[in-house]
Amino acid sequence: MSKILIGRYVAGDSIVYRMDPRGKLLATILFILFVFLANNPISYIIVTIFSLAAVAATKLKPKIFWDGVKPLIWLILFTSFLQLFFTVGGTVYWRWTIFALSSYGITNAIFIFIRFTVIILISTVMTVTTKPLEIADAIEWLLKPLKLIRIPVDKIALVMSIALRFVPTLFDETFKIMNAQRSRGADFNNGGLVTRAKAITPLLVPLFINSLETAIDLSTAMESRGYRGDKGRTKFRVLKWSNVDFINLFYFVLLLGLLLVFRTH
C-alpha cells in the first residue's frame, strides 16, 4: 500500500513548490487536454520536452517519477500492444490472422506510449509538489462558479479538507487494527476469495465504528469552537497568484500555440 504514489506529497524545495496550487491544477488539466491535440512526431516531441522540463523543474530525484509510472506500466504496455497489432494502414510488414504489424501501428503505439507517460508524469509533478490541503483549496476555487447554480461549494470544500485530513489517520488506524487482529490469530493473506472476504470483517467493523465515533467527536469539537455552518466564515489559507504562476500558465498557452502550429490537419 505504501507503494502508491498518487496523492502523496514529497517534501522538497524548488520553484514548482512555491507555485500557487490553483495554477498547477489548471496547468495539469490544460496539459491533459492539450496532449490530445498532438498528432505527429514533431508535436509529440514538443509535448515530451514540456513534460520533461516540468519534471526537471521540481528538482526531485527521477526515481520518484519512475515510481509514479511503475504501477501503471502494464496498462500502458497493454494499450500500446493493442495499437501495435490492431492498427491497419500504411506499409504492412507482417500479418498473421487478425494480427498485423504496419507502419501506422508502430507510430500509433509509440504515440500512445508517450501520451500515457507524459500525462502520468505531469499529474505526478502536481501531486508530489502540492500538499493535499492545497489541492483541496485549488479545487474549491475551481468549483466556485458552481455557486451560481446553488451548489454548496464551501461545504464541499470543508468535506474535502476533512476527508483529506483523515486519510492518514484512517490509514494508521487500519494498520493498527489489522496488527491487533493478526496478534490474535486473524489471517488476512491466506485462503481463497471467500475466506479472505470473511477475514476482513474483524477489520471493517472496528474501522466503521471508529470512523463514526471520530465524526461525532469532531463535529462536537467544531461546534464548541463556534462553527455554525458555512455562512460568514473567513478563510485562513489565502492563496496568492505570483509572477511565477503567470509564467507557468503562459508556458502552457505557449504549448497550445506550438501544438496548433505543428499539428497536421
Partner 1 sequence: MSIKFKNVSYIYSPETPMAKKGLDNVSFELKDGSFNAIIGHTGSGKSTLMQHFNALIKPATGKIEIAGTTITPETTNKNLKDLRRHVSLVFQFPETQLFENTVLDDIAFGPKNFGYDNEKALESARYWLKKVGLSEEIGKRSPFELSGGQMRRVAIAGVMAYEPDILCLDEPAAGLDPEARKQMMALFSDYQKDGHTVILVTHNMDDVAKYADNVLVMEQGKLIKQDTPTEIFKNRKWLQEHHLEEPKASLFAAKLTNYKFTKMPLNINSLVKEIEDNLKG
Is residue 115 a contact partner of residue 38, using CB atoms and an 8 Å limit? yes
Beta pairing partners, 102: 92
Burial class (CB in 10 A: 0-12, 13-18, 19+), 164: middle
In whole angstroms, the minimum distance from the beta carbon of 172 to partner 1 comes to 11
Cβ distance to partner 1 smaller for residue 10 or 142: 10
How many residues does this entry show for the chain? 265
**Chain residues that interact with partner 1, rule: CB under 8 A:** 2, 10-11, 61, 64, 173, 176-177, 179-187, 189-190, 201-202, 205-206, 209-210
Cβ distance to partner 1 smaller for residue 195 or 242: 195
Identity of residue 53: A
State the angle between helix axes of 21-35 and 132-143 in degrees (0 to 180), rounded to the nearest 10.
Answer: 70
Cβ distance to partner 1 smaller for residue 159 or 209: 209
In whole angstroms, the minimum distance from the beta carbon of 170 to partner 1 comes to 12
In whole angstroms, the minimum distance from the beta carbon of 180 to partner 1 comes to 4
Enter the C-alpha cell of residue 4: 502508491
CA 50 to chain centre: 18
Cβ distance to partner 1 smaller for residue 104 or 202: 202
In whole angstroms, the minimum distance from the beta carbon of 204 to partner 1 comes to 8
Cβ distance to partner 1 smaller for residue 69 or 110: 69
In whole angstroms, the minimum distance from the beta carbon of 120 to partner 1 comes to 19
In whole angstroms, the minimum distance from the beta carbon of 206 to partner 1 comes to 5
Dist CA 35 CA 222 (whole Å): 44
Cβ distance to partner 1 smaller for residue 147 or 176: 176
Cβ distance to partner 1 smaller for residue 41 or 168: 168
Cβ distance to partner 1 smaller for residue 30 or 186: 186
In whole angstroms, the minimum distance from the beta carbon of 9 to partner 1 comes to 10
In whole angstroms, the minimum distance from the beta carbon of 193 to partner 1 comes to 19
